[in-house]
Structure 1
Amino acid sequence: MGRYLFTGGKVYTASGRRPFCQAIACVGKRVIAAGSESEVAAMVDDSFERIDLAGRALVPAFTDSHIHLAHYAMSLANVELDGSSGPEEVAARVARAVESARPGSWIVGQGWNKNTWPGGALPDRSYLDAVAQRNPVALFSKDLHSLWVNTAALRIAGIGLDTPNPEGGEIVRDDDNRQATGILKEAATALIRRVIPEPACEAMAAAIEKAQSELHKLGIGAVHNMDGAASFEALQLLRNTGRLKIRVTQSIAKDNLDDAIDLGLSSGFGDEWLRVGPLKAFADGALGSQTAHLLRPYEGNSRNAGLAVASKEEMAELVGKAVLAGISCAIHAIGDRANRDVLDIFESVKAESAQRRLRHRVEHAQLLHPEDVRRFADLGVVASMQPVHILTDIPVAERYWGRRSRWAYAFRSLSKSGAMLAFGSDAPVETPDPIRGIYAAVARKQLDGTPDSGWYPEERMTVEETIRAYTAGAAMASADELTRGTLARGSFADMTILSRDIFSTPAAEILDVRVAATVIAGQFVFREGI
């Protein structure tokens, strides 16, 4: 059992009564004291290992409030396409993967982004057919809402001239011959996903085990997992074999809701390592694919206002069913129309939700109409957001949302209204690195430091407010605030030590901050230079 005393730095407890102190001590998996050095010294003896923070900041371990854990884990071994300059470079990367692949095996990758390519046009299957005739290829876009495949993949999925668009999705076709181009959007991606062989449970568990070590290096001690049943099965295997070293709140996919209800599962069931969380469902698409559902059409395209993945009536029925079963809801909504519709639905179940103490969430909440900002606080709905998207979304939002971007990533406005914020990454869409997320929320600039004055700087957050959203806010979102997200007597000893005092670090230097150590349940799971 570890016994540690940390002194000599800035301790951020994320507690409203005493957010900062000088020292903290833990025994086993719990914090026993946090306060001044003299106060905490009175609670320890010579058996404690004394660790000098040497001016560093110690904060509650970060929580990633929105991560696709299995996708992130598997992405570490897939073809990485982020940063590719165009379809030609993507094809070259796929060609290298084909060289070492068995004939007939799937080539899977992710990260291509047409919005950063010259011209910004969607690619087609001809690029992939040229380098992969014997291997089916499936490449997820950066936002995971579009899929680019080759002819072999279309053939395996049985997608032909007569295949209809599924509800809430699109098989993109050539205007002249109606042939599938190789691009599938939103719900249509399921036509390919279902024929890609899933890894065995042990293989997925091993990938997640490796991924959790990477997350520890980033100071992350807990995640809210937005992947589905196969991921949950692998996590249970890790938990049952003592290999799960990160706290997981597991969402329930829409397709699994009836099974969860039949089993009598409700949000909060589980233990300190693995718990059942909210229903996860989609109201719309994404900015990158121009499928986020908007109140007005996209700039430059009067025929496109995005895509409702499910009708408002269907979503209301789904949410109502979950609430009656004691299951909270986390609904993906990016466009201002989708956010308004989801807030309307949450308003319709406000009384029933309060009776069951359910906290609902809007996942992403990227673009809001100003009239809807206050509704998050009024309804007690969590804004589960990912600041790291700002690093790549600024030019895309300006291009497609125009002046509406004033209300994109409206962190400050939501916070001032009293809304609860919980921050995450959406990995593998973006890096899970919280330091980059903190920089994005505080500076509201791209990695190159532009724009100089920040993108709508009136929506900037302070470092403390941002870290609170990665810690205490995240714990509130999953109803874990009694034991997680803050550092107080009796809370779990989940802590991250940073390389410097981030609270006094200029915004431009935040990206230089590194994680020096991560402690989960009173044990070092990552330690470097301390």
Structure 2
Amino acid sequence: MLIRNVEVEGYAPADVRIGADGRISEIGRHLAGESQVDGGGGALLPGLHDHHVHLMALAADAASVHVGPADVRTPDGFAQALRSGSPGEWVRAVGYHESVAGNLDRSALDAIVADRPVRVQHRSGAMWFLNTAALRAAGLDGDGRLWREDERLRHLIPPVRLDLAALGRRAARLGVTGFTNADPRPASGLRRTLSVLPQRLTVMGVDSPDKIMLDDATLPTPGELAAVVREVRPRPVAVHCVTRVQLLVTLLAVQEAGPVTGDRVEHGAVIPAETVPWIRRLGLTVVTQPHFPVERGRQYATEVPPDDHPLYRCRSLAEADIPLAAGTDAPYGTDDPWAVMRAAVGREDGEGVTPEAALGFFLGTPEQPARARRLSVGAPADLCLLHVPLREALHVLSAETVRAVYVGGRQIAP
């Protein structure tokens, strides 16, 4: 395949030939051969890679009732959302935050809906709330608050209908050619289930790195975590860190176990300034969500101590030469990488970055998420063709600029 008249690395017009092996075989001007695609002067980029996403939860999200602060603003609206659907059928609600209708448990949910099983997931993804009908149907008891019980609930609660093909098509339209699935304990056969997606796939725990989940309530000592890290070696680890204490334990543990290339801090929600040089010395990559302070700014302002701000650092990490990449964390945030880029640029807390840097957050490989790929001979032809030159695309940072997307030279969008 020959893609003509595109902008490559700022140079235009250029032609790009893709070989039968799905790799770029030639880049130049006026290449001989029949033109199959006229790029119209638009930029040809490496395809975007979402470095932290939860694909099964994202597919289930599409079949769920959305009850987050952006969707439901009052207790009455929350109740109305839960009462939607046919009587007796399961209701799966997602994105809940206490600002909508206060703290939930089985009694609170029973007062709203008692005639059908209801399960509500907290915005964090860590907590499920079940009403009495749902607990009874699942053979469970208790107050209806289940913390980190996804694996058990998977076997007790009827699954929702998942349309992974639709997920893959939407991601392709957004310019995404690869995912790193970040579930802490991937279900058996997950890679096979996700193989219907047209994108390239990395599954943490099956592929490198290994995900390590931390919660403050069950936080190991640095020595205990170091022992876990040693068991994983020589593979790198990706450690979930959303609080100050989680980060400190992680840094101590990695220091004790010895860092390896590819070790990652996932999220990095709270990174005290004094730990930034430490992160750099250990050679850790931070895979963050720069859009969360924009999406959740009101809640963070009231819930997070001032000493922990700014949250989800970007600019200060980049200026300290810490490798930095981004993931959407969908469905717990937007699934649109371009929206994440816009948020990263528009941050009002001093942590904003340039449009070029924001785009680079999604151009790395799963192994080196912070090293932006470049179009070069021999590289896989995982490509995102834009309608416009790069300069214009950086100005708007919108999926509306995406014209066509290729994985291994095969077009997957539109």
Query: Normalization by structure 2: what TM-score?
Result: 0.88
The aligned counterpart of 2:297 is 394
Q: In the aligned structure 2, how far is the partner of 1:402 from the partner of 1:33? A: 54
Q: Deviations over 1:448-479 (max 9, x none)?
A: xxxxxx2x12x21111111112112655139x
- For residues 464 and 475 of structure 1, the distance between their equivalents in structure 2, rounded to whole angstroms, comes to 21
> Are the aligned partners of 1:88 and 1:127 in contact in 2 as well (CA < 8 Å)?
no
Q: Residue 489 of structure 1 aligns with which residue?
A: 377
- Structural RMSD (CA): 2.8
Match status 1:335 vs 2:243? yes
CA distance in 1, matches of 2:232, 2:264: 13
- Secondary structure (helix, strand or coil) at the match of 2:231 reads helix
- The answer on 1:436 being equivalent to 2:392 is no
Structure 1 residue 499: Cα displacement: 4.0
The answer to whether the aligner puts 1:152 opposite 2:133 as a matched pair is: yes
Superposed, 1:225-374 pairs within 5 Å as: 225-227=181-183, 233-236=189-192, 239=195, 243-252=196-205, 276-284=207-215, 293=216, 307-323=217-233, 326-350=234-258, 353-354=259-260, 358-374=261-277
Q: In 2, are the aligned partners of 1:319 and 1:329 still within 8 Å (CA)?
A: yes
Q: Tell which deviates more after alignment, 497-506 or 433-442.
A: 497-506
Residue 288 of structure 1 aligns with which residue? none
Q: Residues 68 and 468 of structure 1: is their aligned pair in 2 closer, same or farther, counting only changes over 3 Å?
A: same
My pick for the range that moved more, 150-159 or 414-423, is 150-159
**Would the alpha carbon gap of residues 382 and 24 (structure 1) be closer, same or farther in structure 2, given more than 3 Å must change?**
farther
Moved more, 82-91 or 341-350: 82-91
Q: Give the counterpart of 1:419 among 302, 307, 322.
A: 322
Corresponding residue number in structure 2 for 1:270: none
| Counterpart selection for 1:517 from 400, 404, 408 | 404
SS of equivalent to 1:348: helix
- The question of whether the paired residues in 2 share the 8 Å contact of 1:67 and 1:426 is answered with yes
* Inter-CA distance 362–152: structure 2 relative to 1 (3 Å threshold): same
**Distance in 1, Cα, partners of 2:365 & 2:202:** 14
Which residue does the alignment assign to 1:73?
59
Over 3 Å counting, the alpha-carbon distance change for 1:91 and 1:157 in structure 2 is farther
Map of 1:224 onto structure 2: 180
- The answer (yes or no) to whether the contact 1:333–1:339 under 8 Å persists in 2 is yes
What is the identity percentage for the equivalent residue pairs of Structure 1 and Structure 2? 23
Shift of 1:157: 4.6
User: Is 1:502–1:510's contact at 8 Å kept on the other side of the alignment?
Assistant: no
TM-score (norm 1): 0.70
Q: Between 83-92 and 366-375, report the one with greater CA deviation.
A: 83-92
Give the whole-Å Cα distance in 1 for the aligned partners of 2:193 and 2:182.
Answer: 18
Cα deviation for residue 232 of structure 1 reads 5.9
Q: Contact 2:363–2:369 (CA<8 Å) still a contact in 1?
A: no
How far apart are the structure 1 equivalents of 2:272 and 2:185? 34
Q: Which sits farther off after the overlay, 83-92 or 70-79?
A: 83-92
Cα 1:519–1:386 change in 2 (3 A) is same
| Aligned mate of 2:93, from 109, 129, 133 | 109
Is 1:209 matched up with 2:193?
Answer: no
CA distance in 2, matches of 1:500, 1:147: 44
1:504 is displaced (CA, Å) by 4.5
* Secondary structure class of the residue paired with 1:439: helix
Is contact 2:393-2:401 (8 Å) kept? no
Aligned twin of 1:93:
81
Q: Equivalents in 2 of 1:383, 1:346: separation in Å?
A: 14
Divergent runs of 4+, >4 A: 188-194, 228-232, 308-311, 504-507
**Other structure's SS at 1:321 match:** helix
State the alpha-carbon separation in 2 of the partners of residues 473 and 412 from structure 1. Answer: 21
In 2, Cα distance between equivalents of 1:419 and 1:235: 31
Over 3 Å counting, the alpha-carbon distance change for 1:232 and 1:503 in structure 2 is: farther
Cα distance in 2, alignment partners of residues 363 and 27 from structure 1: 35
Q: Which amino acid aligns with 1:515?
A: V
2:16 corresponds in structure 1 to 25
SS of aligned partner of 2:76? helix
Amino acid at match of 1:523: R
Report the number of matched residues: 408
Specify every segment of 5 or more residues in structure 1 that has no aligned partner in the other structure, as ranges. 13-19, 35-39, 161-179, 253-274, 285-292, 294-306, 445-453
1:277-304 CA-partner distances (Å, limit 9, x unpaired): 22212123xxxxxxxx5xxxxxxxxxxx
Q: CA separation in 2, counterparts of 1:146 and 1:276?
A: 27
Three-state SS of the structure 1 residue aligned to 2:368 is helix
Aligned to 2:124: 143
Letter in 1 for 2:25: I
Provide the rounded CA distance (Å) in 1 between the counterparts of 2:238 and 2:76: 38
Residues 192 and 525 of structure 1, relative CA distance in 2, 3 Å threshold: closer
Tell me the residue number matched to 1:46: 33
Q: Is contact 1:61–1:495 with CA below 8 Å preserved after alignment?
A: yes
Deviations 1:128-176 (A, max 9, x none): 324543432111122212222211233435333xxxxxxxxxxxxxxxx
Q: Is the 8 A contact 2:406 2:413 kept in 1?
A: yes
Question: Secondary structure of 1:97's partner?
Answer: coil
